[in-house]
Chain A
Amino acid sequence: MEENKTLYTITIFSENTVGVLNQITTIFTRRQLNIETLSVSPSAIKGIHKFTITTFSDDENVMKKLVSLIDKRVDILKAYYNTNEDLVHQELALYKLSTEKVLAHGSIEYLVRKYNVRILEVSTDCVVFLKAGHYEETQGLFEELAESIGVLQFVRSGRIAITKSKVERLSDMLAKRERENQEKWGNA
């Protein structure tokens, strides 16, 4: 966490074309913004991809400019930013532990209950935990495991998020644009 800076979550919808991520990251680079997390996947609308990116900034105006520069790209349908208060957000983390050390630990049940851990895999060599949550929660489990058992491998996904206040209006926006285009040009 960076001091005196706010974590912003930027949501972007784009056409599914080659090189969109490059277009987006270039804009971050030019504004000297460091990407904290990144998650990309197909959206609810076929052919449209959704990017969720987090970045720290001490100035909301920088976010306004960033989003307008991203929105301006031809292949981008829509871009906006939010702070944590506006969002329900989640990250996933995977933890690989030595089976031998897990068995020797003695209070695994306590950890599983405390952190609401799911166990994905148990073999003679390793156990894999999955934890979904905010950064602080996945980090908390990591620190506790690292101290008590030792973590062989650890990975955390980028943030995914949905807004609390409003419905995603992308489909409405697209319908409006298509309608206006029809009105303007007919079927010519």
Chain B
Amino acid sequence: MMNKNNQTPETISSPEKREQETEIISGSEILIRSLIAEGADTLFGYPGGAIMPVFDALYDHKHEIKHILVRHEQGAVHAAQGYARVSQKVGVALVTSGPGATNTITGITDAMMDSTPMVVISGQVASSLLGSDAFQEADVIGVTQPITKWVYQIRRVEDIAWAVSKAFYIASSGRPGPVVLDIAKDAQVNKCAYSYQKTIFLRSYLPEPEIEDDQIRMAADLINNAKKPLALVGHGVVLGNAEEELRAFLEKADIPFGSTILGLSAMPTDHPLNFGMLGMHGNVAPNMMTNQCDVLIAIGMRFDDRVTGDLNTYAKQAKVIHFDIDPAEINKNVKTTVKVSGNAKKTLPMVIALLKEQSHAAWLSEFKPYEQKEFDCIIKNELYPENGGEIKMGEVVHKVTEATHNKAVCVTDVGQHQMMSTRYFKFTESRSMVTSGGLGTMGFGLPAGIGAKYGAPERTVCIFVGDGGLQMTMQELGTIMEYDIDVKIILLNNNYLGMVRQWQELFFDERYSETHLKNPDFIKVADAYNIKGRKVTQRSELDEAIAEMLAHKGAYLLEVVVETKGMVYPMIPSGGSVTNILLGNGNKL
């Protein structure tokens, strides 16, 4: 059991400072002051019995730290995620014990999968009651340990300050992730001396592995000798704030690249070396070229199965260079020729220094026919349909991104509309793509969009949702109403759980088992929450409705009735080879 008395090997602190600030206050007051000391300015939360002392302390700090009262604890964690993803800061959620804490599980798992820095603080029954099946007691530590970077149960008031300090350090350093602090009620109420020291070192935890010079040299050699290099850009670039370094790296060696879903906004969409998204519904060119390149350079990505498809046929011809901050990712899925361990912000410049300026014009020209094929077979009809008919998801996304001059934050839920958003939304700045990548959490979009607006208040936030996912966390319309949160909600309504329906059409003999939805009148629902809404069924209204939405001050729900049986193409069937790409409508590569 660690406590304040033996923290010296863990945290380095200044004795002078400690004496100055000693003051006897309650655990709840300590918690709030510690959060403020860590720079937290916004909490997303929901009160309840075992966290009431903290909410009481919050009452005195309204002007220093904002609290957003969500309508369900799942909303609090997704909002904290959205906040963290756009802002480079740690998202914070504050909930009560038992059901309050268990309602956060999905969001915590989502943050773990997508390496999102977040601290979730849950109340817990008094320490004397622990293990007695007390009212609203749940084994939060046991439940959250496998889905967090770190968890700690605070049973003594003396442990609050250092545990908060440790939690923020762990959540935000190295490969970021969620941390849970479970605070017993008596620790919130009892008093002790308060002083705060930031954690800057833990002997058991090395946030960034040591950079090895020979790895840098070997990587540079491989790239300098490559004739057909291809880079895969992942979330690690964004998390490491290494966008400029990445750009310099790609441009110096003239390396074409594709991005994972979470890496999408690291580079501008219109960059000449950018060939789009990787994976199951990604662009044809980077997927096809994965199996034609001679050197594959993965940067801050983890070779998820949705990116690689069948590993037995994935990039077998290529030498693989893997840049990653997490040593456990190296050789996890794909055998690596050269690993470059460390933060890409530091390793990329070291490699750049050894790179020759290159031009790969001939290699780049090999991408063009695939781009053209994808445009002709899929994109053209999705974005610019000529023959009338139902509105398509892609064209809505396209019109919204154009109307925002590609400067908005794109938040999505999960499903077909998500893939259409990631395929067709365009980016001009980083931290503009907020989506549930690894876990694929329906219900993520609306609350994550709320958090994103608090994380980037000056930016336009567009939330794309489907009719299924919206109804999973629709109660957060109440939060939007209460705080007058200016988010633009674009509901792409096909009256189906569209992605499951697509799989049923392709792989289950068109047996549409439990995917059709009888939906409410969404505009009336929005109206009940005093949110302006408009339903569009005709293509001719679309431009004007989007303009109205963007010009409106405050939240807006734009419901667009889209093609009921639309399909997301291209598609690599699950478990298939990365080059086994379905184009739909009888088209073949």
Contacts and interface: CB of A to CB of B under 8 A. Distances in A.
Contacts of A16: 1-2
Interface in B307-356: 326-328, 330-332
A65 B202 contact: no
Contacts of A123: none
B145 A74 contact: no
A41 interface: no
Contacts of A15: 2, 204
Interface residues of A, number: 29
Interface in A164-188: 174, 177-178, 181, 185, 187-188
Contacts of B203: 77, 174, 177-178
Which of B1, B204, B206 has the most A CB atoms < 10 Å from its CB? B204
A17 B14 contact: no
B57 interface: no
B59 interface: no
Interface string B192-227: 000000001111111000000000000000000000
A30 B146 CA distance: 10
Contacts of B2: 15-17
Nearest to A13: B204
A23 interface: yes
Contact of A22 (B145, B201, B331): B145
A22 B14 contact: no
Contacts of B441: none
A72 B9 CA distance: 19
B328 A188 contact: no
A187 B14 CA distance: 7
B331 A61 contact: yes
A188 B206 CA distance: 19
Given A14-B204, A17-B1, A74-B205, A188 B150 contact: no
A18 to B, nearest CB: 6
A74 B328 contact: no
B326 A19 contact: no
A174 B206 CA distance: 11
Contacts of B150: 74-75
A74 B201 contact: no
A120 interface: no
Given A47-B6, A68-B328, A19 B204 contact: no
Interface string A7-43: 0000000111111001100100010000000000000
B331 A64 contact: yes
A47 B327 CA distance: 26
B206 A185 contact: no
Contacts of A30: 146
A69 interface: yes
Given A16-B1, A18-B153, A26-B146, A185 B328 contact: no
B69 to A, nearest CB: 31
Given A26-B145, A72-B327, A185 B153 contact: no
B589 interface: no
Nearest to B155: A18
B149 interface: yes
A75 B149 CA distance: 10
Interface in A74-93: 74-77
Given A61-B331, A68-B328, A74-B205, A181 B145 contact: no
A74 to B, nearest CB: 5
B305 to A, nearest CB: 16
B141 interface: yes
Kindly list the 9 A-B residue pairs having the minimum CB-CB distance in the complex, ordered from nearest: A68-B328, A181-B201, A74-B150, A26-B146, A77-B204, A74-B205, A72-B328, A15-B204, A69-B328
Given A23-B145, A181-B200, 16 more contacts: A15-B204, A16-B1, A17-B2, A19-B142, A19-B145, A47-B6, A65-B332, A68-B327, A68-B328, A68-B330, A69-B328, A71-B328, A75-B204, A185-B200, A185-B201, A188-B14
21 contacts: A14-B204, A16-B1, A19-B141, A19-B145, A23-B145, A23-B146, A26-B145, A47-B6, A61-B331, A68-B327, A72-B326, A74-B149, A74-B205, A75-B150, A76-B204, A77-B204, A177-B201, A181-B200, A181-B201, A185-B12, A185-B201
